[in-house]
């Protein structure tokens, strides 16, 4: 971890992402203004010393709403990554442990099938069936994450299965499940952390998009995507309504991606040639 902080990309990205995680936490206890307080007298104020990001058409403080919106974004993205990891990684490991078997074939074809449905189409289907909500957005993005994690775990696990240390474990009488958890999983965690960071940032983008088109978070759940949707008709005369939530998305995603890239460089075996 110390090594990671020596990389400027990681340090900057980590700081950027942390700012938003902290803001989300803080919003549970304190925001500059109450986000449900309608104050028509102060509507559409430009950014100023009292309202840093200005106010919206109902006079709510945008800075406070961005803080609370971070909660939704982070929650949706984390749970969606969790779904992807918890279901995708075991599937990928199982497929690799039985390479070429019927199980492998079924898992991989299932993956291909889900890949044919972009997250948005999954969200459309789910919303058409159950109606729009933040939970449905989580499920849609989560389902999309499953094949992503299944695929990279399988690929990495397959190359590990050919390594001699796995053979040695088999000679020691260990079964495939045990080897998967004892030898394979610890050696793919780096890869999973990198992919997790990237899927986390993609999740934030996807949540914003889904909420923006009305398939995600609904009133009264605050969300960056919904703030953008609400601002749509007013952007031409009050651009701050769209600019600040948008910048929040960019800032968080950028931070996470910088972290992911730095970690990838750090973990990349090509960078650490201890063999030569």
Region from 36-44, 52-60, 71-79, 180-188 binding another protein, contact rule CB under 8 A = 180-188
Closer residue to another protein, CB minimum distance, 33 or 225: 225
Query: Any contact of residue 169 with another protein (CB under 8 A)?
Result: yes
CB of 185 to another protein, least distance (A): 10
Query: Any contact of residue 118 with another protein (CB under 8 A)?
Result: yes
Kindly state the tokens that stand for 134: 């933040």
Considering only CA atoms, which of 112, 201, 118 is closest in space to residue 154? 112
Query: Any contact of residue 211 with another protein (CB under 8 A)?
Result: no
CB of 29 to another protein, least distance (A): 29
CB of 40 to another protein, least distance (A): 23
Query: Any contact of residue 155 with another protein (CB under 8 A)?
Result: no
At residue 61, φ and ψ (nearest 5 deg) are -75, 120
Dihedral (Cα; 226, 230, 235, 241), 10-degree rounding: -60
Residue numbers 226-255 binding another protein by CB under 8 A: 228, 232, 235-236, 239, 242-243, 246, 249-251, 253-254
Strands, E assignment, 115-265: none
Rg (CA), the chain: 22
Kindly state the tokens that stand for 273: 């040639």
Query: Any contact of residue 186 with another protein (CB under 8 A)?
Result: yes
Tell me how long the chain is. 276
Look up residue 232 and give its DSSP letter.
G
Q: Where are the alpha helices (DSSP H) in 162-239?
A: 164-171, 176-179, 185-212, 224-231
- Do 259 and 14 contact (CB within 8 A), yes or no? yes
| 1, 40, 41, 172: residue in contact with another protein (rule CB under 8 A) | 172
How close are the terminal C-alpha atoms of the chain, in Å?
24
Query: Any contact of residue 116 with another protein (CB under 8 A)?
Result: yes
Give 104's contacts (C-beta < 8 A, 6+ positions apart): 95, 96, 98
Query: Any contact of residue 266 with another protein (CB under 8 A)?
Result: no
| 26, 125, 135, 193: residue in contact with another protein (rule CB under 8 A) | 125
Kindly state the tokens that stand for 74: 């982070």
- Do 143 and 114 contact (CB within 8 A), yes or no? yes
Query: Any contact of residue 168 with another protein (CB under 8 A)?
Result: yes
Query: Any contact of residue 1 with another protein (CB under 8 A)?
Result: no
CB of 22 to another protein, least distance (A): 19
Query: Any contact of residue 8 with another protein (CB under 8 A)?
Result: no
CA dist., res. 207 & res. 80, Å (int):
10
CB of 49 to another protein, least distance (A): 25
Query: Any contact of residue 167 with another protein (CB under 8 A)?
Result: yes
Q: Which spans of this chain sit near another protein (rule: CB under 8 A)?
A: 109, 112-113, 115-121, 124-129, 163-165, 167-174, 183, 186-187, 201, 205, 208-209, 212-215, 228, 232, 235-236, 239, 242-243, 246, 249-251, 253-254, 257-258, 261, 270, 274-275
């Amino acid at each position: 971890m110390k090594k990671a902080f020596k990389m400027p990309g990681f340090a900057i990205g980590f700081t950027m992402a942390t700012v938003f995680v902290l803001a989300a936490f803080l919003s549970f206890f304190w925001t500059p203004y109450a986000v449900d307080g309608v104050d028509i007298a102060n509507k559409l104020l430009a950014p100023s010393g009292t309202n840093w990001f200005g106010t919206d058409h109902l006079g709510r403080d945008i800075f406070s709403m961005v803080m609370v919106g971070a909660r939704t974004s982070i929650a949706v993205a984390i749970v969606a990554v969790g779904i992807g990891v918890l279901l995708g990684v075991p599937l990928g490991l199982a497929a690799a442990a039985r390479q070429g078997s019927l199980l492998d074939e079924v898992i991989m074809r299932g993956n291909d099938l889900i890949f044919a449905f972009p997250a948005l189409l999954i969200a459309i289907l789910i919303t058409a069936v159950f109606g729009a909500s933040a939970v449905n957005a989580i499920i849609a993005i989560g389902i999309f994450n499953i094949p992503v994690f299944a695929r990279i775990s399988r690929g990495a696990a397959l190359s590990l299965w050919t390594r001699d240390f796995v053979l040695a474990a088999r000679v020691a009488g260990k079964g495939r499940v045990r080897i998967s958890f004892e030898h394979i999983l610890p050696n793919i965690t780096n890869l999973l952390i990198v992919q997790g960071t990237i899927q986390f940032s993609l999740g934030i983008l996807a949540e914003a998009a889904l909420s923006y088109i009305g398939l995600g978070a609904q009133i009264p759940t605050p969300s960056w995507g919904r703030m953008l949707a609400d601002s749509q008709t007013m952007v031409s005369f009050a651009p701050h309504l769209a600019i600040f939530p948008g910048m929040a998305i960019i800032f968080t995603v950028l931070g996470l991606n910088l972290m992911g890239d730095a970690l990838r460089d750090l973990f990349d075996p090509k960078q650490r040639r201890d063999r030569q």
